A and B are shown apart, each in its own frame.
Chain A
């Protein structure tokens, strides 16, 4: 399989003794290149931990995480940082933008930090896709929540990363803004061949994905291909039974 990222026998344990929590329990899962994958699961199922560990923000207690063919556990802190800069894009639920930079500067931030010149044509393509060309010189404080998240999504794409991780990206948005953002993410996969992995609670959001991976207690509890919101809800319901 052509995996953009994967974990093998991933284990993540927090705390000691009585407070010991196993967030990931011998989990093996991979994310196909050029696909939009959603990770779902109840609170405490380990979905955010999985995202953090596979994105190089946190380290595993056991097993391995890969981006492309690079094993994250072999990398130094500095190398991990550079890997994130080059190969990973992020969309968080909040605090996505730097308030002192305008929208355009926020979008090019990872490229600028790397000291490279942004690819102008690609930048234009991304900006036109998110539909915020007339807002580029605005500061985050002057943008709506939905616009801010679209700027964040553009930033995640602008360096053409191997993979984009999104952590509840539509969690704070109204349904219209949410649809715009998710629609944009879908287009990024369909039109640009971008790989996206998204953690979400929301079945409607997950329905934009090509595949949904369900987690429970640090293990994969199932998955759905080409899901609709109804099928996801049905599946979740079946879990409850």
Chain B
């Protein structure tokens, strides 16, 4: 049987290679993701170890969660340095600083060519930190050209930024700092480990006092690195240091810091990892459909061969085993190739990252045993699982089938309907349960529910395949006999058509979910801004960034407030908090200025303008949950673990706000050491012409590059473009799954052409031209693809609507009709593409061979 199975593999090289390709792609994606993220992790682990190895202890602000940590009084540096056994106590300060390349420079389209360009940003942070003369050995940076910043006006920049903008040592550049734009002289250029920068972050290193001044840290520091005399007991010194510190500061060992750094980094990386693995999973899932379909068709085509085996005495079990062994061979080979291809993908990703300025410190390429095991298991298990049903079907071939011509009888679909319906219902219930109940790991349940729904729908799809082809194929059937033949071919084996289309359905459905979600999000943004903003203009950072990591310098607001053309200038910030240890971390909004004049909020009780030090406004849902009303007290916790008891002065009943807590700036600055603003709301003074006001505002914002000044409609346009950009990225990644599904259409058609060679031969004999044969196959492909597309749109719209309704948050269900129609057209074009090879083969069939009677 083994020999027969191997012969089987060899006899069907081409079709099995197509099958294998689906597995190779899926496994490659899985393995590539692991190798890539493992390599980055290892690289950074080395880096952090390297950075922290020379340091025995670190003193820093407590940051249990979220983004910010409190600063430490500078006086502690001296006290620590005075402790016996302390060799070095090096303080450091950090913040956000962005270098400006002088005009003319590379800019996006539509940008003002006379303005300077901000270097970096738009995602990765633009880091600024201090240099401390006694701690040169303690930094991971190496100055490759020039010298460390020795003077107040010196700055050291990263090598990537320097090369990209032709900066040289001695050149004077403008730098955006929290206190405004200032000129610095480039004293040196630094590299980070082996990389020119740190994962796309730009670096600007300042002299210590300058850093303190520009990062609003006069008399305070972010961190103190401590080097001890090797002869002293570190734990003793650690305890001594701890006794000097206030509650919101801590002292930890260098090793712990490495681990903490890595854990924090891993969290960010974990997110990328998860997205890539989800997409890999989708690819493998779609691949499974393809494999299953291929094996089923192969088994059907080998009915005579299998029957002959049965006739000469092979047991049903042996026939099953033979097909399973074939699948095993294909699965193993494809998985091995897939893992190899995955390593190449990882290398490609790394190269792409480097090319786009995301430096990775070392060139480690980590192929963990886990990667190989998971890759093999995924590839082999999926192949075997997909081959089980066809293998069992193979065993049912009666020996007598060897003696007669059979086109398998169409079995009743009763059982399939029952199973398909049950599976679909289970999937939908899981989906609904996960969305509505929102328990821990609800996302995983929702995902599993979606996959199960796909399987259920694919089981039901053959029921409608015939009807669909009759309906959708009617116009082309009426148009020509070729169309009529194509329609008939698509209808004759509804299971095959449905199974092939189902693979495409998955990709299209997921893309549709994204389209529905993004359309809903855009609709929500537009309506929220239009309804609630009573401002004429808004100012914010260009592009997409974390409002807790970067933002607008406060000086911007100060300058705007001096303009006589403006009546009201309000700014806000984001921060992290939680209600207590058991609650999840959430965002809070801090506002500075008469908020009710710029944003219309629906208040259930109290007023937003009553905010002040020690006061808060709460979302109604949280107020109800906590049982607090206006005048009551709410207790919240900040990342430093400081607890604030705030008086509730307002309760808002408005899910467009999106955060459960609003406080004022004084309270914010008491607990959170972050000094950049997220957003500035501007109301123009009565009687002032809008264009005049805009010119006045631009006069200020022009001094701050990478700041965007918009009116409300422009802002909506910008945000919509951002949402589109993000979701387009996901669509591109999911395009991979669609590609695999198209491969499935190629495979099915190629097998069908081989199966129908007599028919095609006859058609050619009675006068069908090659062109017409091609057209017939192409139309069949288009029908299958459009069927998959329609199924995908239907399932996708249902899933997407469910997600939108469950998420709530002011999202408004919107269906992007034009976009969905585009997807359908793209699916149809995909069908045309998929038909190229099979159509060519069909047209080239040797007529004599095709009509030969065996």
Contact = CB atoms under 8 A, between A and B. Distances in A.
Given A95-B853, A99-B407, A100-B492, A105 B766 contact: no
Interface in A100-121: 100-101, 105, 109-110, 112-115
Given A52-B848, A85-B766, A110-B767, A95 B761 contact: yes
Given A100-B492, A101-B485, A113 B767 contact: yes
Interface bin, chain A: 20 to 34
Contact of A113 (B487, B758, B763): B763
A155 B765 CA distance: 12
B403 to A, nearest CB: 15
Nearest to A87: B767
B853 A86 contact: no
Residue picked from B487, B488, B758, B767, most chain A C-beta under 10 Å: B767
A52 B767 CA distance: 14
A109 B765 CA distance: 11
A61 to B, nearest CB: 15
A84 to B, nearest CB: 5
A90 B766 contact: yes
B142 to A, nearest CB: 71
Contacts of B175: none
Contacts of A90: 762, 765-766
A112 B767 contact: no
Contacts of B407: 99, 141
Given A93-B853, A94-B853, A95-B762, A115 B480 contact: yes
A81 B847 CA distance: 11
Contacts of A95: 758-759, 761-762, 851, 853
Contact of B768 (A58, A81, A93): A81
B488 A100 contact: yes
A155 B766 contact: yes
A81 B764 contact: yes
Contacts of B847: 57
Interface string A61-72: 000000000000
Given A57-B847, A92-B853, A101 B484 contact: yes
B769 interface: yes
B656 interface: no
B115 interface: no
Nearest to A100: B488
Interface string B740-782: 0000000000000000001101111111111010000000000
Contacts of A93: 853
Given A92-B853, A98-B485, A99-B492, A114 B762 contact: no
A81 B767 contact: yes
Contact of A109 (B481, B758, B761, B770): B481
Residue picked from B480, B765, B769, B847, most chain A C-beta under 10 Å: B765
Residue picked from B407, B758, B762, B847, most chain A C-beta under 10 Å: B762
B482 interface: yes
B138 to A, nearest CB: 78
B292 to A, nearest CB: 25
B294 interface: no
B765 A113 contact: no
B489 interface: yes
Interface in B464-505: 480-482, 484-485, 487-489, 491-492
A113 B851 contact: no
Contacts of B758: 94-95
Nearest to B759: A98
Contacts of A21: none
Contacts of A109: 481, 763, 766
Contacts of B851: 57, 92, 95
A96 interface: yes
A112 B407 CA distance: 26
A78 interface: yes
Interface in B342-364: none
Contacts of B488: 98, 100-101
Contact of A81 (B480, B482, B770): B770
Contacts of B765: 55, 57, 84, 90, 92
A81 B769 contact: yes
A78 B759 CA distance: 19
Contacts of B759: 95, 98-99
A114 B767 contact: yes
B766 A113 contact: yes
A113 B492 contact: no
Contacts of A98: 485, 488, 759, 762-763
A13 interface: no
A167 to B, nearest CB: 8
A102 to B, nearest CB: 10
Interface string A38-53: 0000000000000010
Interface in B764-807: 764-770, 772
A77 interface: yes
A82 interface: yes
Residue picked from A55, A89, A113, most chain B C-beta under 10 Å: A113
A103 B484 CA distance: 14
Nearest to A49: B848
8 contacts: A78-B770, A90-B762, A92-B851, A92-B853, A95-B762, A98-B485, A99-B407, A112-B480
Q: 9 tightest A-B contacts by CB?
A: A85-B767, A100-B488, A112-B481, A95-B758, A110-B766, A84-B767, A81-B769, A94-B853, A93-B853
